[in-house]
Amino acid sequence: MSYDKELAAAKKAASLAARLCQNVQKALLQSDVQSKTDKTPVTVADYGSQALVSFVLQQELRADFSLVAEEDSKDLRKDGAQEIVERITKLVNDSLTSDGSYNVTLSTEDVLKAIDIGRSEGGSQGRHWVLDPIDGTKGFLRGDQYAIALALLDGGKVVLGVLACPNLPLTSLKDAGQHSPNNEVGCLFFAEVGGGTYMQPLDGSSAVKVQVSAVENPEEASFFESYEAAHSMHDLSSLIAQKLGVKAPPVRIDSQAKYGALSRGDGAIYLRFPHKGYREKIWDHAAGCIVVTEAGGVVTDAAGQPLDFSKGKHLDVDTGIIVTNQKLMPLLLNAVKESLKEKAPSS
């Protein structure tokens, strides 16, 4: 089955949302940060991105659809939030005007309703869009890496994914560190099941097919992990790297930009081991997962099981998530198993 129409809509939605986020990041002020109940910083860009993606999918697909997304309008409907809602609405309307495809001006209520389309629970039946409007909010606030991550589930399986990474250099991170020498940044990665993975500049110029690293010797492999120590157990990652014989220090970047960078071979391994009690959300991995697998990579949990996106909003993963190429995966799983055994408190 072809998902070309859906993929075109997803690319358009994520690209427009990325443009909105770029504009906000340029003018980023502390007042843009709001505390959600769990103290995660969330910005006007987060809500604006979700409203835009939701609106564009509605316009392009002209049909009812289910969207599982990170935000809802609850905090925005509280007393005192009117000013922030007006800013979000202006951002969304400015983005739509600059694009020129849709001759429309949305009211604040239209924007709040668009945000709330993302209240679906997902599951194994039917089709569900999965969105993280800004993955890597802390990276966004630091002026660093973040991604707009959009995927489509059909019957519980990820069938397409789009990752817009506004600050990711177009050239390999290996050459440029995190900053491109010519300041050429902004990548859009996209993949459709059975169709491979492509990358193009966010400005929409021509796409190139990408492949994961072909490195077979772990000593030559480099690995990615979360920038924030709070998001992943860095000590466990370094023990695994040591067991594999990895020589290069880890590349720490925020968000699913890691999946994008890995899909084009910037590094060979991505390790994510959240602290105990954390449950992974599907929107943090769905788009990245298909972008890597269609580029020839493998994504599993620490026990070597594929990720299951059919259970609603959460992923039930064993211990963590590991991503690499097919040659390195057996060695990596072995190192993970040994390291977890060492780290386990002796009974």
Residues making up the annotated binding site for Mg(2+) are: 70, 132, 134-135, 284
Beta partners for 325? 297
Q: CB within 8 A of 343, min separation 6: which ones? A: 236, 239
Active-site annotation holds for 254: no
Please say if 137 is a catalytic residue. Answer: yes
274 DSSP β-pair partners: none
Please identify which of the residues 32, 46, 266, 301 carries the catalytic annotation. Answer: 46
C-alpha torsion sign, points 136, 142, 144, 150: positive
**How far, in Å, CA of 225 to CA of 118, rounded?**
28
261: which 2 tokens? 């960078």
Closest CA to 246 of 335, 333, 175, 173: 335
Binding residues: 70, 132, 134-135, 284
Q: Which residues contact 317 (CB under 8 A, 6 or more apart)?
A: 280, 301, 302, 305, 307
Given the residues 32, 43, 116, 137, select the one marked as catalytic.
137
Query: Measured on CA atoms in the order 260, 199, 305, 68, is the torsion positive or negative?
Result: positive
Q: What are the tokens at 46?
A: 């987060």
Span between the terminal Cα atoms of the chain, in Å: 51
For the annotated catalytic residues, the residue numbers are 46, 137
